[in-house]
Amino acid sequence: MDLRQIEYFRLVARAGSFSAAAKGAYVTQQTLSASVASLEQEWGIPLFNRRRQGVELTAFGETMLPACEHLLDEAASLGGLVDRYRESVAQTATFAYASASLQQQGEGFTLEGLARFRADHADADLRVFELTSDACLSALAQGEVDLAFVVGEPDPAQFSFTKLVDAHLLVALPADHPLTSKEAISFRDLAGVPIFPTPDLKETYHRIVTGFERYGLKPNYVPLPFSLENAQRFVRNGEGVDFSPEHNADEPPEGIVYRPLTPEDAFTLPLGLAEKRGAPQSPLMTELKEFILAR
């Protein structure tokens, strides 16, 4: 028994003949008749009394028709539920970006642009999270995030990566720090200086550690929880320095001065979009990705 057999039974019952029902269903009379006969054989009781001028329901057919109609209505309702779910999934997406990686406004992909995209899709369910770059990749791998803006190119076997920009780090110093007299800062200049921890333990952390190692040094990281506000407070209060994205220097907070690394110590960090290979993408996420790439 399948729903098509039930539907054919209902059509014949309503039409009063196999020929009229076949025309309404756009199938041959033989197909319709064979389907109903198969249903009767399966149940072991005839549904129709067949007469030359048409058909009429048997007592069993009269009993079964309301139940079959209810079943077909429920099936249609289930189909509507599936359609609504598909529509909701199409308008649902989760996006994460690495802490401190996005500037508030300006050229390229910015927090202001992301807010504008969300405002233009007010009826959609776009969930946005700020995480460390490492946490972004972990969430991607576990299917908790659909798309992420991360620091450094991730494992190509597990993720696809579209680079958007090469970012530079500056050294954020207290305004009265002696190193502000220098035009550029070397890792050697930072020997023993307390440093605010980086937001990720892979790309950024590795580059800084490697920079210090060239001079036989180790960075003096202070164990504090990362946030942009904490980092700026740390520097402004004269507690130490921070390696900060260059866009933070566009409008430097009061009490903080930014200096570049010396040419021999300077490095760039690739920033871009990461996706888990083979993971499905909702139409909303596809649209967001196109929006970001167009910036």
Nearest in space to 198 (alpha carbons), one of 119, 133, 286: 133
Q: Is the pLDDT of residue 288 over 80?
A: yes
Q: Residue 105 is encoded by which pair of tokens?
A: 């406004």
Angle in degrees, CA 248, 238, 190, rounded to 5? 75
DSSP E strands, the chain: 48-51, 54-57, 92-98, 125-131, 147-151, 159-174, 194-195, 220-221, 242-245, 256-260, 268-276
**pLDDT for the residue 92:** 84
Q: What percent of the chain has pLDDT over 70?
A: 96
For 228-251, what is each residue's pLDDT tens digit? 899 999 999 999 999 999 988 888
**pLDDT for the residue 81:** 66
**pLDDT for the residue 254:** 93
**pLDDT for the residue 277:** 95
With a CB cutoff of 8 Å and minimum separation 6, the contacts of 36 are 5, 8, 9, 12, 18, 47, 48
User: pLDDT band for position 86 (50/70/90)?
Assistant: low
Query: What pTM did the predictor assign?
Result: 0.67
User: pLDDT band for position 74 (50/70/90)?
Assistant: confident
For 188-234, what is each residue's pLDDT tens digit? 999 999 999 998 878 899 999 999 999 999 999 999 888 889 999 99
**pLDDT for the residue 278:** 93
How long, in residues, is the chain?
295
Nearest in space to 212 (alpha carbons), one of 186, 174, 231: 186
Q: 286: part of which helix (H) or strand (E)?
A: helix 283-293
Q: Is the pLDDT of residue 82 over 70?
A: no
* Interval 114-126 mean pLDDT: 88
Q: 172: part of which helix (H) or strand (E)?
A: strand 159-174
Q: Is the pLDDT of residue 79 over 80?
A: no
User: Which residue shows structure tokens 């006969």?
Assistant: 37
Nearest in space to 125 (alpha carbons), one of 142, 110, 146, 141: 146
More confident residue, 287 or 91: 287
Task: For the chain, give the mean pLDDT.
Answer: 90
For 143-186, what is each residue's pLDDT tens digit? 999 999 999 999 999 999 999 999 999 999 999 999 999 999 99
Q: What percent of the chain has pLDDT over 90?
A: 65
Least confident of 8-12, 69-73, 84-88, 172-176: 84-88
**pLDDT for the residue 141:** 95
